[in-house]
Structure 1
């Protein structure tokens, strides 16, 4: 091996490590933002319990009570363990809206309607914000990566990745709605519930995987918090130098 080859090999190894680190950071950030496996379980369990009980006894009240109870239990477990409760609380609110809606109409299928409308609204939000050049996934993940909105003007490669990811989320959720809303009118409560449960995780995992792919290939984020800290330290140093005898 010549002396010229060694730096090339070292540089290649450094690039490989940097790419691996970027992928690991991206994976960790996505898990934090979307709740990981536990968040998915907490999202699915109340609806799964509702449709299981309703399939067995066709009783809206007992199914609703069980769904609310398990949602509250998940929050209590999070509080006891001193974990973040945002995903568990979102599950409680989602179940509560579904229960109230179903109780008001007397139609058990309406337990799922608020969640379906939320999914449709979220899909449209992903698509509209992307069309206006401010992709929602970038707004969500920017603070997680400590880059805030720097990707909009200072990091075009990451803006492109966020744009692709937001298109993916919007289209995947829109496709999910295209399946669920016809079933809301044509299928019975149990059929709709089981299809909804079946479509709960796979589209989500597909969207997360595509986001990971896009961001893993994008330039690293600009840590604006580190930049602000460096500027503050530089200002303090300059002020100290001015006041020094």
Structure 2
């Protein structure tokens, strides 16, 4: 994940803020945001693995989502991310309850991955790569990068790398879904979620730094 900006790995970096390690972590919602993103899926998988009771397994992440949102509200912090996650959990739970199949809890994730895959590929093909638009905004470059062939090429490849991630998730996980292997599917989604996003985010950061090097510090002494 997550919003499109966060999925692209650049959503939490403020305009003009250097792409530092701290900014990279912030773009994923910080430690707390990462925990809130991972816990519901982990709770669903754990409860279902031990109980094989669909209703109980679906109630657990919904309750957890309510608790996470409530804690943020009680601390007078923005609960937008937690509430957004709660809505996502509720949609997943409703689909699984309607079908009576635990694997349908993961269906919305497939549609999201497919949508991002198509969007990222199209943006790269037409010459307006999503990563380029995000980086141009964050670096104060606007769309001037399109006039620089080397920058445009790197940003196109970065966008295609993200498209590859979404494609890989679908290629690996859809067969598990079709086979009804809930345990493997849940574990795979966790492994191919935040950890892979983090790795690709670092790769994107390195690619961006290669075309937007930090200006040399000036010695005023």
- 1:103 partnered with 2:97: yes
TM-score, with normalisation over the residues of structure 1? Answer: 0.71
Do the aligned residues in 1 keep the contact of 2:44 with 2:57 (CA within 8 Å)?
Answer: yes
| Offset, 1:148 | 6.9
Partner of 2:174: 181
Q: Compared with structure 1, are the counterparts of its residues 218 and 36 closer, same or farther at alpha carbon in structure 2 (3 Å cutoff)? A: farther
Question: What is the number of equivalent residue pairs in this alignment?
Answer: 199
2:184 aligned to 178, 188, 191, which one?
Answer: 191
| Offset, 1:154 | 6.0
Pairwise CA RMSD of aligned residues?
Answer: 2.7
2-side partners of 1:140 and 1:62: how far apart? Answer: 41
| Offset, 1:104 | 1.3
Partner of 1:45: 39
- 1:216 partnered with 2:217: no
Partner of 2:10: none
Show the 5 A alignment for 1:10-159: 25-143=19-137, 145=138, 147=140, 149-153=142-146, 158-159=151-152
- 1:202 partnered with 2:195: yes
Query: Which consecutive residues of structure 1, in runs of 5 or more, have no partner in the other structure?
Result: 1-21, 222-245
| Offset, 1:66 | 1.0
1-side partners of 2:30 and 2:157: how far apart? Answer: 21
Q: Which has the higher helix share?
A: 1
| Offset, 1:57 | 1.1
TM-score, with normalisation over the residues of structure 2? Answer: 0.77
Query: Which consecutive residues of structure 2, in runs of 5 or more, have no partner in the other structure?
Result: 1-15, 215-221
| Bigger radius of gyration | 1
Q: Compared with structure 1, are the counterparts of its residues 26 and 137 closer, same or farther at alpha carbon in structure 2 (3 Å cutoff)? A: farther
Q: Secondary structure at the match of 2:72?
A: helix
| Offset, 1:186 | 1.4
Do the aligned residues in 2 keep the contact of 1:151 with 1:159 (CA within 8 Å)?
Answer: no
Q: Secondary structure at the match of 1:94?
A: helix
Report Cα offsets for 1:16-66 as digits up to 9, x if no partner: xxxxxx995344443333323332221111010001111111111111111
Moved more, 81-90 or 109-118: 81-90
1-side partners of 2:69 and 2:155: how far apart? Answer: 31
Q: Secondary structure at the match of 1:25?
A: coil
